[in-house]
Amino acid sequence: MIYPSLFLTKMSDFLNYNQQMLLTLIITGIACSILGCFLVLNKLSMLTDALSHSILLGIVLAYFVTKDLNSPLLLIGASIFGVFTVYAIGLLSKTRLVKSDDAVGIIFPLFFSLAVILISTFARNVHLDTDIVLMGQVIMIPLNTMTVFGVELPKALFYMLIILLINLIFVSVFLKELKVSSFDPEFATLAGFSSGFLFYALMTLTSFTAVAAFDAVGAILVIALFVGPAASAYMLTKSLKKMLLVSTVFSTVNSISGFYLAIAFNVSISGMIAVITGLTTFMTVLLNRQGIITAIYLRHKNRKEFRLDLLIMHLGNHEDQQDAELELGFTTIKDHLYWDQETVERRLNRLIDQGFVQRNHERKIYCLTEKGRLRYDMIKVDYGM
Amino acid sequence: MSSIVFEKIISLNFANLLNAIGLDFEILSSYTFVVVCLGTMILATVAGMVGTITVLKGQSLIGDAIGHSSYPGIIIAFMICMSLDSVSLMIGAIISGTVAFIIIQFIDKNSKLNLDAVLAVILSAFFGLGMVLKSFIQGHPVYGKVPQGGLSNYIFGQAAFIRTIDVHLILIVAIPSLLILFLFYKEFKIFIFDEVYAKSIGLSSTLMYVLLVLITMSVIATGLKLVGAILISSFLIVPGITALQWSNRFSHVLIIAAIVGSVSAFIGTYISSVYAGMSTGPCIIVVMSGLAFISMFISPKGLLANWLRRRKYLNDLSKSIFD
Amino acid sequence: MSENIIVKVEDLTMAYHDKPVLWDNDVNIIENTRTAIIGPNGAGKSTLLKGILGLQKTLSGTVEIMGKSVKQVHKKIAYIPQSNSVNWDFPTTALDVVLMGRYVHLGWIKRPGKKDIEIAKNALYKMGMQDYAKRQISQLSGGQKQRVFIARAIAQNAEIYFMDEPLAGVDKNTEKVIIDFLKDSQKQGKTSIVIHHDLNTLADYFDYLVILNKRIIAQGKMSKTLTQANLDAADMGGGFKINV
C-alpha cells in the first residue's frame, strides 16, 4: 500500500479538486500582481488588455506550427508573440503618426480579429473556443494533470509555480533597477540602467505570465489580476516593497473570496474574482487614507474653518478704512461677501462666541476683538502674506 | 465619344459589370447580404464620425473599456425582460456602459490612480460581472427556460444574424447621432480644440460632454449585436485615426472617417459572405486596420512622404555643400 | 481722462484644492487702459483671471464687468488662455481658429457666413499672419500660434481682452506685434488686462498695474504703483531695482 505512493504521489490525495483550483488561482494571482505593480507604476496597465487579447493570435499561429494544443512550445510561441505585440505598439507610436493610446487601440483588436478569423476558417475542428479564451476554464484545472518528480499535479499549477518563481527571482534581482526606472526613467538612463532592457524583460515576463495564466483563468481575469491588486496597493503604500507585499495580500484575498462566492452561487469563477477585484479596488479608492471619504471630510472641515478665517480677514482688512460702514455694516456685510444674510450671521455668531469678533453698536458694524486682531495677524502669516 | 461609352455601360448588364470587377452578383443581391451590409455600413459610418471626436479628445481606450463594460447590461436586461428583444438589450447596454463611464470618471478624479489602471480594473470587473450573470442564468430554473443562445453573440457579434428590425434600430440611433454632430458641429469643434476658451465664451462643457457620451454610448450599444463588446472600440477609433492621416481640416476628417468606415464595412461584409465561416465583425476590422496602415504609409503626412522629404532635404544639402 | 471702472472685483476669495489662492481681493480695472497683472509664482494671477471670467469657482465675492455679471457680457470679453490648454492635435487651420472668435456672436447651431470669414481674414492680416491662413495650427511656431490666438480675439470684436501670459515663449517680433496691437486697441477705446512676467518691459508696455501675491499689494497708475516698496511687499524685489 505505501510502496507505490513513494514513487507516485497524487496531489488529489491530500487536496480535493476545489482546493487544487484555489491554490492554482492564488499562485496565478500572486505571479500576476508582482509584475502588475511595475505595470501600474509605469502607466502600462492597458498593455495587459492588449496583451491578453492579442496572445490569442499567438496561440493560433503557434498551433499552426506545432499542431498540438498541449505543447509547451505553444506557450513559448504565444509569449513571444505577446512581446511582439508590445514591440509593434511601441513602433507604431514611435512614428508619431498616432498617439500611444491609439496605437494600443488599433493593434490589439486587429490581432484579435485575425485570430478569430483564423480559428473560424482554418481551425474550426480544433478545440480552441473563443469563449474559453475570454472566460477561462477554472473547473478544468484539476483534470489536466502532469507528473513531475513523481508527483501528479495540475498542469496549470505547475506552470504557474514555475512562472511565479521566475517572476520572484526577476523582481528580487532587479528590484533596485526596477525601482529607479519606475519612478524616474530619465534618471535610470543617466545612471546607466538600460530601461529599454528592463522594459522588454518586464514585458516578456508579463507576456509569459499572461499566456500561462490565460489558459486557466481567461483573458479578462488576467487583466484584473495584473492591475487590480497592484492599483489597490499603490493607493495604500508608500514604499515599493510594501506595495509588492500588500498587492499579494489583496490578490490572495480576492482569489479566495471570489472563488468561494462563485462556488456558493454556482457561477463563473474567473468572472467572480474579476468582480471582487474591481470591488476591492473601488473600496480602496473610497477608504484609503487620502481617499475620497477622508477628502470629503477634510474638505468640509477645511472649508468651514477657511470661511471663518476669511471673515476675520475681511473684518481686519476693512476695519480701519473709510468704507468700513459699508463693508462691515450689520446689514451690508453680506453684499460684500456674496453670502446670504443668514449664513453671514451664523458664521459671525460663531466668531463672536469664540471671542474673535464683537458688534460695534455705535458704528453699526462688526469688528475684531483684541483676540481677533491676534488671529488676523496669525492668518496673514499662515497664508504667507 | 462620351455618349458611346455611356451607351455601352447601359447596354452592359449590371450583373456582368459587377462580375467583371470581381464581385459576385448573386451574393450582392441576396436579401441577407443587403440587410447585413446596410446595417454594418450605417453603423461604421456613424461610429467612424463619432469616434473621431473620441480619438481627438485622447480617449480612445475609454471606448474599449465602455465596450467591454456594456456586456453585463445586456444580461441584466435579458433577466428583467426575459426576452432577447434587441431594444431592451440595447437599453441595458447603454445603462451599464454609462455607469461604467461615471465610475471611471469618479475614480480618475478622486484618486491618484492613473487613468489606464482605472480602465483596466473597471473593464475586467464589468465584463467579469457579465460572465457571472451569464453563468448564473444558464442553469437557472426560471431563466434557463427562455432561449438565450443569442446572448453570447453580444461578445463577438453576429452580424450574419441581424434582421431588418436591427437595421431600423441602427437607423434610429444613427440619424439623431449624426444630426447632433451636424447641428453642434461648431460647438464640438471649439470644445475639442480649446475647452477653456469654449467656456470663456459661455459654452457649457458639461453639456458638450453629456452630448458626446450620449451619442458614443448609443453607437456602442447598437454596435454590440453586430461587432460585439470586445471589438466595438475599433469601429469607433480606427476610421478616425485613418482620416487624421489625410486631412488637416476637421470637416474633411469627419467625412473621410465616414467613408473609411462604410467602405471597410462593405468590403468586410462581402468577404465574410463569400467565405463561409468568417465572422463579419473581425473581417471589417481587418479591412479597416489595413486601410489605416496603408494610410500611415502613403498619406501626405505618412512615413513614405516623410522619408522622401528627408531624402530630398539631404540631397539638397549635399548639393549645396558640394557646389 | 475719466476713470471709469470697467471690471469691478469685490472681496474675491478663491481656493484651489482647498488651499486658498486668493484672499478677499478688491480689484478695479480702469476702462481704456493697458493693465498688467504681476506677481511671483503661485500668486494666483491666472486664478484671478479665471475667477473674473467665471471659469473657476469662487468662495466669496462679486465680479462685475461693465456693470453686469460675466454671463451677460460674453460677447464683449475675449480671453486668450495659456497655450497649454489647447489640443494641438486637432485638425484645423489658422483661419479656422480665428473663425472660432465669431462663434460667440453666432449662438448655437448657426454657421459662420461670408461676413465672418471676411472679419477673420482681416484679423489674421492685422497680426501679419495672412500668408498662414491655410496652415495647420500645430505646424506654426510658438509666436505664430500666439498671433493666431490674438487674431481670434480681434475677430471676436470684444471690448476687453484678458490675456494669460501672451508674451511667454514668443519671439521678439511677435512681442512687438502684440504690444502694438494693445496700444492700437487702446486708441480704439478698448481695455486689456494682461498677466506679465517681465519687469524690465513692464513700464514700457503697460500704463496701469496690479501687483498680486494672494492679496492685492497695490494697484493703480504704473508710475505710482511700480515702486521698490511695492515689489518688495510682493516678494518680487529680489535682484530687481527700479530705475527712475
pLDDT per residue of chain A (385 residues) written in tens, 0 to 9 = 444 445 556 766 777 888 889 999 999 999 999 999 999 988 888 889 899 888 889 888 888 888 777 777 888 888 899 999 988 988 888 888 888 888 999 998 999 999 888 888 876 666 666 677 777 888 888 888 888 877 788 888 998 999 999 999 999 998 888 887 776 665 555 555 555 788 888 889 999 999 888 877 888 999 999 999 999 999 998 888 999 999 999 999 999 999 999 999 999 999 999 999 999 999 999 888 777 777 777 777 767 777 777 778 777 777 777 777 777 777 777 766 667 777 777 888 888 888 888 887 777 788 788 887 888 777 777 665 5
Q: 3-state DSSP call for residue C90?
A: coil
Chain centroid to CA C82: how far?
A: 10
Whether A102 and B285 lie within 8 Å, measured CB to CB: no
C-beta of residue B291 within 8 angstroms of C-beta of residue B241: no
Whether B117 and A231 lie within 8 Å, measured CB to CB: yes
DSSP A291: S
Categorize the per-residue pLDDT at C244 as very low, low, confident or very high, splitting at 50, 70 and 90.
Answer: very low
CA Rg, chain B, in Å?
Answer: 23
Q: Which residue on chain C is closest to A302 by alpha carbon?
A: C18
The Cβ-side half-sphere exposure at B196, using a 13 Å CA radius, reads: 21
Would the CA dihedral through A25, A31, A34, A38 be positive or negative? negative
Q: 3-state DSSP call for residue A42?
A: coil
- Give the pLDDT of residue A383: 63
Q: Could you read off the pLDDT of C33-55 as tens digits, one per residue?
A: 899 898 888 788 888 888 888 88
- Provide φ and ψ at A357, rounded to 5°: -130, 150
Helix ranges (H only) for C107-196 are 114-126, 142-156, 172-187
Nine-digit cell string for B188: 464640438
A237 by Cβ neighbours in 10 Å (0-12 / 13-18 / 19+) ranks as middle
Only one residue has cell 427556460, namely B145
How many helices (DSSP H) and strands (DSSP E) are in chain B? 17, 0
Whether C24 and A310 lie within 8 Å, measured CB to CB: yes
Q: Could you read off the pLDDT of C55-92 as tens digits, one per residue?
A: 888 877 788 888 888 888 888 888 988 877 788 888 88
Nearest to B130 by CA among B173, B76, B91, B90: B76
C209 membership: H or E segment, kind and range: strand C208-213
Q: Which residue has the higher pLDDT, C95 or A346?
A: C95
Q: 3-state DSSP call for residue A225?
A: helix
- Provide φ and ψ at C21, rounded to 5°: -110, -40
Parallel, antiparallel, or unpaired for β C19-30 and C5-16? antiparallel
Whether A383 and C20 lie within 8 Å, measured CB to CB: yes
Q: Which residue on chain B is closest to C76 by alpha carbon?
A: B201
Q: Where are the beta strands (DSSP E) in A51-181?
A: 145-148, 151-154
CB atoms within 10 A of CB A14: 9
C-beta of residue C104 within 8 angstroms of C-beta of residue B186: no
The strand pairing partners of A157, in sequence order, are none
CB atoms within 10 A of CB A145: 19
Parallel, antiparallel, or unpaired for β A151-154 and A145-148? antiparallel
Q: Could you read off the pLDDT of B144-186 as tens digits, one per residue?
A: 777 777 787 788 888 777 888 889 999 999 999 999 999 999 9
Q: What is the dihedral of CA A370, A371, A375, A376, to 10 degrees?
A: -20
**Rounded distance between C-alpha atoms, residue A40 and residue B176, angstroms:** 39
Q: How far is B184 from chain C (nearest CA, A)?
A: 6
- All residues of chain B having their beta carbon less than 8 Å from the beta carbon of residue A283 are none
Helix ranges (H only) for B29-70 are 31-56, 60-69
Nine-digit cell string for C163: 490675456
DSSP C237: -
User: Which of B96, B132, B301 to probe the A interface (max A CBs under 10 A)?
Assistant: B132
- Provide φ and ψ at A193, rounded to 5°: -80, 130
Nine-digit cell string for A227: 492591475
**Rounded distance between C-alpha atoms, residue B189 and residue B181, angstroms:** 10
Q: What is the dihedral of CA A82, A86, A87, A92, to 10 degrees?
A: 130
Categorize the per-residue pLDDT at B316 as very low, low, confident or very high, splitting at 50, 70 and 90.
Answer: confident
C-beta of residue A107 within 8 angstroms of C-beta of residue A50: yes
CB atoms within 10 A of CB B67: 29
C-beta of residue C199 within 8 angstroms of C-beta of residue C167: no
Chain centroid to CA C84: how far?
A: 15
Q: How far is A150 from chain B (nearest CA, A)?
A: 37
Whether C11 and A314 lie within 8 Å, measured CB to CB: yes
Q: Return all residues near B200 (Cβ < 8 A) that are at least 6 apart.
A: C53, C55, C74, C77, C79, C81, C162
**Rounded distance between C-alpha atoms, residue A214 and residue A53, angstroms:** 10
User: Which of B71, B121, B133 to probe the A interface (max A CBs under 10 A)?
Assistant: B121
Nine-digit cell string for B183: 447641428
The Cβ-side half-sphere exposure at A150, using a 13 Å CA radius, reads: 7
ipTM above 0.95, yes or no: no
Q: How far is A244 from chain C (nearest CA, A)?
A: 30
DSSP C57: -
- Give the pLDDT of residue B1: 47
**Rounded distance between C-alpha atoms, residue A300 and residue A284, angstroms:** 21
List residues of chain A with CB under 8 Å from any CB of chain C.
99, 298-299, 302-303, 306-307, 310, 313-314, 317, 327, 335-339, 383-385
- Give the pLDDT of residue C21: 77
Categorize the per-residue pLDDT at C11 as very low, low, confident or very high, splitting at 50, 70 and 90.
Answer: confident
Nine-digit cell string for B25: 452578383
Only one residue has cell 473556443, namely A129
Q: Return all residues near C99 (Cβ < 8 A) that are at least 6 apart.
A: C112, C116, C117, C120, C155
**Rounded distance between C-alpha atoms, residue A125 and residue B277, angstroms:** 12
C-beta of residue B299 within 8 angstroms of C-beta of residue A95: no
**Rounded distance between C-alpha atoms, residue B189 and residue C100, angstroms:** 9
Q: How far is B309 from chain C (nearest CA, A)?
A: 16
Q: 3-state DSSP call for residue A2?
A: helix
Q: How far is A383 from chain C (nearest CA, A)?
A: 8
CB atoms within 10 A of CB A7: 8
C-beta of residue A355 within 8 angstroms of C-beta of residue C30: no
Parallel, antiparallel, or unpaired for β C60-65 and C5-16? antiparallel
C-beta of residue C67 within 8 angstroms of C-beta of residue C11: no
> What proportion of chain B, given as a percentage, has pLDDT over 90?
47
How many helices (DSSP H) and strands (DSSP E) are in chain A? 18, 5
- Give the pLDDT of residue A205: 93
- All residues of chain A having their beta carbon less than 8 Å from the beta carbon of residue C15 are 306
**Rounded distance between C-alpha atoms, residue A216 and residue A143, angstroms:** 11
Whether C18 and A385 lie within 8 Å, measured CB to CB: no
Q: Where are the beta strands (DSSP E) in chain B?
A: none
C-beta of residue B104 within 8 angstroms of C-beta of residue B119: yes
Categorize the per-residue pLDDT at B104 as very low, low, confident or very high, splitting at 50, 70 and 90.
Answer: very high
C-beta of residue C140 within 8 angstroms of C-beta of residue C94: yes
Whether C11 and A338 lie within 8 Å, measured CB to CB: yes
**Rounded distance between C-alpha atoms, residue C174 and residue C151, angstroms:** 12
Q: Does B128 touch chain A (CB under 8 A)?
A: yes
- Give the pLDDT of residue B21: 62
Average pLDDT over residues B253-267: 95
CA Rg, chain A, in Å?
Answer: 31
CA distances from B308 to A92, B248, B301 (A): 19, 20, 11
- All residues of chain B having their beta carbon less than 8 Å from the beta carbon of residue A270 are 128, 131
Chains that touch A (3 or more CB pairs under 8 A): B, C
Q: How far is B38 from chain C (nearest CA, A)?
A: 30
CB atoms within 10 A of CB A153: 22
- Give the pLDDT of residue C13: 81
**Rounded distance between C-alpha atoms, residue C166 and residue A288, angstroms:** 42
Only one residue has cell 506545432, namely A66
**Rounded distance between C-alpha atoms, residue C213 and residue A60, angstroms:** 65
Q: How many residues does chain B have?
A: 323
Average pLDDT over residues B37-64: 92
C-beta of residue A250 within 8 angstroms of C-beta of residue A229: yes
Whether A306 and C62 lie within 8 Å, measured CB to CB: no
Parallel, antiparallel, or unpaired for β C34-38 and C208-213? parallel
Q: Which of C11, C18, C214 sits opposite A303 (nearest CB)?
A: C18
